[in-house]
Amino acid sequence: MIYLKLFLSFLQVGLFSIGGGYAAMPLIQYQVVDKNGWLSMGEFSDLITIAEMTPGPIAVNSATFVGIRIAGIAGALTATFGCIFPSLIIVSILAFIYYKYKGLSVLQSVLSSLRPAVVALIASAGLSILQLVVFGDEKISADAVNWLGALLFLTAFLVLRKFKPNPVIVMLSCGVLYLLITAVIDYAVKI
């Protein structure tokens, strides 16, 4: 039965991908391309591009995309549920342990040393995205700099620090501005 197969395949993706995002990619490829042949390798790489370009976790995006192509909306829902089911169980248990033993001095000490590590991880994720904006997929060099992207980043950062606006509006404005400015420059070059 196709629904059960979809559920079990994405259950494994959800269960074995630790660290999120890119860690899930090879697992999805194994289930979707190699084992079940639901997508060709070309379709799979399209899927990854789309998953990166649209909101939401890659695993959930893939589950929806594959599910809907194999078995319609019901397939999309089944696959997505399979993908988040392990999280629901395991994270609930961890949350229970966290709130029960939070007061213990050992756990306090462990948690307080996790905090700087988490900040470092977030900083690194941000820097990777910035690198992608400024240098694209090229190696880091002065020729490859995307000045418009860099300028937009700097402006957005300063506006955020100074005026504390809604972050979603900042993100959307950056998208619109980038599109408009590039279009205007293209047009100017043509004339």
Among 4, 41, 74, 129, binds other proteins (CB under 8 A): 129
Shortest Å, Cβ 44 to other proteins? 12
Among 7, 14, 25, 29, binds other proteins (CB under 8 A): 14
Cα 25 to Cα 1, 16, 48, distances in angstroms? 25, 11, 8
| Contact window for other proteins (CB under 8 A) among 1-9, 31-39, 137-145, 172-180 | 172-180
Give the tokens for residue 48: 């990854």
Q: Which residues of 50-86 are buried (b: 16+ CB within 10 A; e: fewer)?
A: ebeeeeeebbbbbbbbbbbebbeeebbbbbbbbbbeb
Does residue 110 belong to the site contacting other proteins (CB under 8 A)? yes
Among residues 2, 15, 3, 30, the alpha carbon closest in space to that of 84 is found at 15
| Contact window for other proteins (CB under 8 A) among 1-9, 13-21, 30-38, 137-145 | 13-21
Shortest Å, Cβ 48 to other proteins? 10
| Contact window for other proteins (CB under 8 A) among 1-9, 30-38, 137-145, 163-171 | 163-171
Sole residue written with tokens 């961890």: 94
Does residue 141 belong to the site contacting other proteins (CB under 8 A)? no
| Structural contact between residues 76 and 68, judged by C-beta atoms closer than 8 angstroms | yes
Site track 59-98 with other proteins (rule: CB under 8 A), x = hit: xxx--xx--xx---x--xx--x--xx-xxx-xxx-xx--x
